[in-house]
Amino acid sequence: MGERDMKIGFIGLGNMGAPMAANLITAGHEVTGFDTAAAPDGVTMAATAAAAAKDADVVITMLPNGAILRAVAAEIHPAMAEGAVHLDCSTVDVESALAVADAAANKGLGAVDAPVS
């Protein structure tokens, strides 16, 4: 990997997440994904969300609702290295977004809320 290439975990590879992951691969990043249904070309698939998050510089979530986001965050945050960033692109309720950001901060992680609608 080059200086700018990152190791990225991507959770939620549906209609929105799969093209985003493909663009990251095209840009030269290493992407490990987890989803219950999709496996886009070029993405190394993990058996669990936590496995996709392990050793990642950034973990991107693109999930359908706040309850799923909270559950996934509870799984991935313990697997992430201190200083890594959880970049959430899910369009969810404000309370869930804030709760997940607080949980990330409590684990020594960065948190970015970047919803896609």
pLDDT at 1: 45
Contact criterion met (CB below 8 Å) for 20 and 43: no
pLDDT, mean of residues 51-65 = 97
pLDDT, mean of residues 63-80 = 97
pLDDT at 4: 65
> What span, in angstroms and rounded, lies between the C-alpha atoms of 113 and 55?
21
Instruction: Look at residue 51 and tell me whether its pLDDT is greater than 90.
Output: yes
> What span, in angstroms and rounded, lies between the C-alpha atoms of 88 and 101?
9
Phi, psi angle pair for 30, to nearest 5°: -90, 120
Give the full edge-to-edge strand order of the sheet including 44-45. Answer: 44-45, 30-34, 7-11, 58-61, 85-88, 110-113
pLDDT, mean of residues 15-40 = 90
pLDDT at 3: 56
pLDDT at 110: 98
What is the chain's mean pLDDT, rounded? Answer: 93
pLDDT, mean of residues 96-104 = 98
pLDDT at 68: 97
> What span, in angstroms and rounded, lies between the C-alpha atoms of 31 and 39?
12
Instruction: Look at residue 2 and tell me whether its pLDDT is greater than 60.
Output: no
